[in-house]
């Protein structure tokens, strides 16, 4: 599951979030992308918007699960994004820059006019590109949070986190 920024470990989400009554992280999100799952933990849903890494969710988290002290997850979400060569219309000769335009990190590069790629070094996994792609050609793989086996893939590609 793709967690909000500023988290440190999955175990902290699992142990602290279900007992949080206020769920203040949801209300604090101006982009309206934080949702609470059935197990009481927060996830991100990029189907309509992306994350600005604005600090608001961390500032209101009473349990400290989301904390500005977690600098590793304050600048990059725990996901790696990829563009499907089969689904992307630009890779099939259609002029389309829908994914590049909202990318505030300039992480989507075009090798020529019809070959968009995501620069993993620049991409913060904010997710704005997902909701803008007309063919849903952008997907992501969730990575484990720091504090676990950092940098190792967590299962199969997750796609857009489900709306709960």
Q: What is the mean pLDDT of residues 34-58?
A: 97
CATH number given to 79-140: 3.30.70.20
Distance CA 49, CA 52 (A): 10
Tally of CB atoms within 10 A around 16: 17
In this prediction the pTM is 0.84
Residue 88, pLDDT above cutoff 80: yes
Question: What is the phi/psi pair of residue 73, to 5°?
Answer: -95, 10
Q: In the prediction, which pLDDT does 44 show?
A: 97
46: confidence class by pLDDT, cuts 50, 70, 90:
very high
Q: Where are the beta strands (DSSP E) in 21-137?
A: 34-36, 42-44, 79-83, 108-110, 116-118
Distance CA 123, CA 107 (A): 5
Q: In the prediction, which pLDDT does 1 show?
A: 87
**Tens-digit pLDDT profile for residues 25-43:** 999 999 999 999 999 999 9
Interacting residues of 152 by C-beta distance below 8 A, sequence separation 6+: 143, 144
Residue 147, pLDDT above cutoff 80: no
152: confidence class by pLDDT, cuts 50, 70, 90:
very low
Q: In the prediction, which pLDDT does 113 show?
A: 86
Q: In the prediction, which pLDDT does 153 show?
A: 40
Q: In the prediction, which pLDDT does 163 show?
A: 36
Domain residue limits, the chain: 10-76, 79-140
Closest among 88, 81, 149 to 113, alpha carbons compared: 88
Q: In the prediction, which pLDDT does 146 show?
A: 62
Q: What is the mean pLDDT of residues 51-66?
A: 96
Question: Coil, strand, or helix at residue 92?
Answer: helix
Q: In the prediction, which pLDDT does 4 show?
A: 96
**Tens-digit pLDDT profile for residues 69-84:** 988 888 999 999 999 9
Same topology, domains 10-76 and 79-140? Answer is yes
Tokens of 100: 């590049």
- To the question of domain 10-76 being in CATH 3.30.70, the answer is yes
């Amino acid at each position: 599951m793709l967690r909000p920024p500023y988290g440190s470990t999955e175990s902290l989400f699992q142990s602290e979030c279900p007992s949080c009554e206020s769920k203040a992280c949801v209300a604090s999100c101006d982009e309206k992308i934080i949702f609470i799952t059935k197990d009481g933990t927060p996830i991100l849903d990029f189907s309509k918007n992306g994350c600005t890494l604005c600090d608001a969710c961390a500032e209101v988290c009473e349990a400290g699960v989301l904390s500005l002290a977690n600098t590793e997850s304050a600048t990059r979400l725990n996901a790696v994004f990829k563009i499907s060569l089969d689904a992307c219309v630009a890779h099939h000769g259609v002029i389309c820059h829908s994914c590049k335009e909202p990318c505030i990190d300039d992480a989507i590069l075009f090798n020529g006019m019809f070959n968009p790629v995501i620069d993993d070094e620049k991409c913060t996994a904010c997710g704005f590109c997902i909701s803008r792609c007309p063919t849903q050609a952008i997907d992501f793989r969730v990575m484990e949070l720091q504090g676990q086996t950092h940098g190792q893939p967590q299962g199969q590609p997750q796609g857009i986190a489900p709306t709960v």
